[in-house]
Amino acid sequence: MTTFIIAALSADGFIAKNSAHLADWTSREDKRFFVELTKKAGVVIMGQNTYETIGRPLPDRLNIVYSRDKQYKGVEVTQKDPKELLSDLEQRGYKEVAICGGATIYTMFMEQGLVDKLYLSVEPAVFGKGMTLFNKELDGKLELASIKKLGEQTVLLEYNVLR
Ligand SMILES: NC(=O)c1ccc[n+]([C@@H]2O[C@H](COP(=O)([O-])OP(=O)(O)OC[C@H]3O[C@@H](n4cnc5c(N)ncnc54)[C@H](OP(=O)(O)O)[C@@H]3O)[C@@H](O)[C@H]2O)c1
């Protein structure tokens, strides 16, 4: 089982201005890359705040949403320990899982050492302040695996997480 974090960053390092910020500032190329990678994985995991910004299940992928009390049609709502969730998914035959945010969910998987890769696309926007990728102190080491231009204005950074 491999897991990757996929996120768009402003040029000054934020994933959003606040918990309810829609992803309407990311490029068409980034959205295309997101669809391609997450469909290949087959499973997307996200938190309730992120799901609310999308507002519907992402088609052709198993949608798993972390929430303690919400229910949504067309998604599996979970409160499982991340390790247990990944092992359930493995038993169900999934080989790759996309961790799709937001900061709370990225942090929960990262701090437990459950992330293999990070795909970060850097967009030409600045927010000045806002939410960073992770929201707790971490001490992770990464290895830069590739740098690619997704389009004229967007750079994709691929990192391997060193364990
Ligand atoms: N730039 C990007 O690539 C990108 C990607 C994704 C998201 N975002 C942005 O990130 C922001 C949202 O991030 P966020 O950190 O505020 O929220 P989040 O990670 O999307 O969701 C947090 C919510 O998940 C639920 N949750 C967390 N831990 C849980 C657990 N152990 N068990 C059960 N439920 C749990 C809780 O929902 P309940 O209150 O329902 O229990 C919690 O409020 C949005 O602005 C979104 O647009 C940006």
pTM for this entry: 0.98
Q: How far apart are CA 31 and CA 95, in angstroms?
A: 22
Ligand 1 pocket, Cβ-based, cut-off 6 angstroms? 7-8, 15-16, 19-21, 23, 46-50, 53, 66-70, 79, 100-105, 108, 131
The tokens 């050492």 sit on which residue? Answer: 113
Phi, psi of 122 (to 5 degrees): -100, 120
Question: For residue 155, is pLDDT > 90?
Answer: yes
Contact 97, 5 (CB under 8 A): no
Indicate which residue's Cα is closest to atom 31 of ligand 1: 79
- pLDDT band (50, 70, 90) for residue 131: very high
* H, E, C per residue of 113-145: CCCCEEEEEEECCCCCCCECCCCCCCCCEEEEE
Q: Give residue 159 CA to ligand 1 midpoint distance, Å.
A: 22
Q: Give residue 25 CA to ligand 1 midpoint distance, Å.
A: 18
Question: For residue 71, is pLDDT > 90?
Answer: yes
Which atom of ligand 1 approaches the CA of 53 most closely? 47
- pLDDT band (50, 70, 90) for residue 96: very high
Beta carbons within 8 Å of 115's beta carbon, 6+ residues apart: 3, 4, 5, 99, 109, 161
Q: Give residue 51 CA to ligand 1 midpoint distance, Å.
A: 8
Residue 78: both structure tokens together? 């979970």
| Residue 163: per-residue pLDDT | 86
Looking at domain 2-162, its CATH class is alpha beta
| Residue 26: per-residue pLDDT | 98
